[in-house]
Amino acid sequence: MAMAMAMATRGRRRRCGSPPKGSWKMVYVMEGTKKPTVASEAGSAAFAGATAGALVSLCLHPVDTVKTVLQAERGARSSLRDAVAQIVRVRGVRSLYSGLLPNLSTAMPISAIYTATYETVKRKLLPLVGSERAWMAHSLAGGCASIATSFVFTPSECIKARMQVGQFQTAPKALFHILKHEGITSLYGGWGAVLCRNIPHSMIKFFTYEQMKKYFARNGGRETPTALETLVCGGVAGSTAAFCTTPFDVVKTRIQTQALAKGVHPTVKATLLGIVREEGFFALYRGVKPRLIIYISQGAIFFASYEVLKAVATAFFLSDVMNKPGQRKFSKEKSIIV
């Protein structure tokens, strides 16, 4: 937002009434702007998603580490508090950030692919399903985004999980060991579980988020929700999706951190049934508390920052200034609807 406004101050502003109450995505748009294209919307979404994804990873990685350690445990369940104390006592405070490097190195490209795919597919589907069934476009676009990112996400998640449970100290060491002793297919161990978790997770998350956005905007008499409402939408959407998909998150963690070390490649079904048979049904919800903390925070931080960053990027992509440096005049103030 600040970038867009800074660009605007270089030229002469012409106000055209006051901005709508509650609007938080107002930018100055230059004369001669183009209509948004698929490429410009995808570019805006990719930039916003990459930046928001990196921010979320930095903020929430310690909680994710605790969640992974809890899910990898067999036998008696540890409390959230006990798990944190055990990790810090045995491996030190810095170990809470184990796996951060592979997480960050892939968080930005994964988030860029994720949001660009979502916005592109949504744009294509909305005219086909109509406004009455817009929820179908949101859900299907979310599922497609998860499939697109799974090829990059799964190896990164495998390395991160191994580091978080203390098997390796550095990402390169983990990568070389897995490739040398287990083969490249081991990096994709749990890929089926990743898809079983991520596809419904994204479908539920985007359905909930878009429906709540529409509700807040309609009730407030605005085209878009406020910043606070967006935080609420993101938090509720993220936590709802997380709770529903926790069993597959546990299965994924078990496959990636334990089963492959025995030289076997178990299926999602075999791992799921094995956990229920040996440890009980509720073992599938191990780590649900830190997972909910992660996704409430992640959803709120990600969507709020994503909407602002996408508005800034949209203004940048729509501007003719890059192609016509001499044109510095500004037209009326308008809201970028995203």
Helix/strand/coil (H, E, C) string of 120-161? HHHHHHHHHHCHHHHHHHHHHHHHHHHHHHHHHHHHHHHHHH
Q: What is the pLDDT of residues 183-211, one digit of tens each?
A: 888 888 778 888 988 999 999 999 999 99
When mean pLDDT is compared across 221-225, 270-274, 295-299, the lowest value belongs to: 221-225
Q: Answer yes or no: is 15 within a domain.
A: no
Q: Answer yes or no: is 6 within a domain.
A: no
Q: Answer yes or no: is 10 within a domain.
A: no
- In this prediction, residues 308-332 reach a mean pLDDT of 63
Q: Answer yes or no: is 3 within a domain.
A: no
Domain CATH for 180: 1.50.40.10
Reported pTM:
0.72
The reported pLDDT for the residue numbered 243 is 95
Please say if the pLDDT value at position 299 is more than 70: yes
Residue 155: closest CA among 222, 206, 115, 106:
106
The reported pLDDT for the residue numbered 328 is 42
Q: Answer yes or no: is 7 within a domain.
A: no
For the chain, what percent of residues have pLDDT higher than 70? 79
Rounded to 5 degrees, what are φ and ψ at 263? 80, 15
Q: What is the pLDDT of residues 53-93, one digit of tens each?
A: 999 988 888 888 888 788 777 766 677 788 888 888 888 88
Higher pLDDT, 32 or 303: 303
Residue 312: closest CA among 38, 6, 107, 34:
6
Q: Answer yes or no: is 32 within a domain.
A: no
Q: Answer yes or no: is 23 within a domain.
A: no
Higher pLDDT, 12 or 158: 158
> How many domains does the chain divide into?
1
Q: Residues for the chain: how many in total?
A: 338
Q: Answer yes or no: is 143 within a domain.
A: yes
Reduced to 3 states (helix: H, G, I; strand: E, B; else coil), residue 199 is helix
The neighbouring-strand residues paired with 335 are 26
List the domain range (segments joined by +) for residue 244. Answer: 37-335
The neighbouring-strand residues paired with 30 are 330
- In this prediction, residues 96-116 reach a mean pLDDT of 87
Reduced to 3 states (helix: H, G, I; strand: E, B; else coil), residue 107 is helix
Question: Using CA atoms, how far apart are residues 22 and 213, in angstroms rounded to an integer?
Answer: 14
Let me know: does 258 contact 295? Beta carbons within 8 Å: no
Q: What is the pLDDT of residues 238-258, one digit of tens each?
A: 999 999 999 998 988 888 777
Question: Using CA atoms, how far apart are residues 83 and 91, in angstroms rounded to an integer?
Answer: 12
- In this prediction, residues 286-302 reach a mean pLDDT of 90
- Measure Cα distances from 1 to 13, 24, 138, 242, 259 in Å: 16, 9, 26, 30, 47
- In this prediction, residues 128-148 reach a mean pLDDT of 93
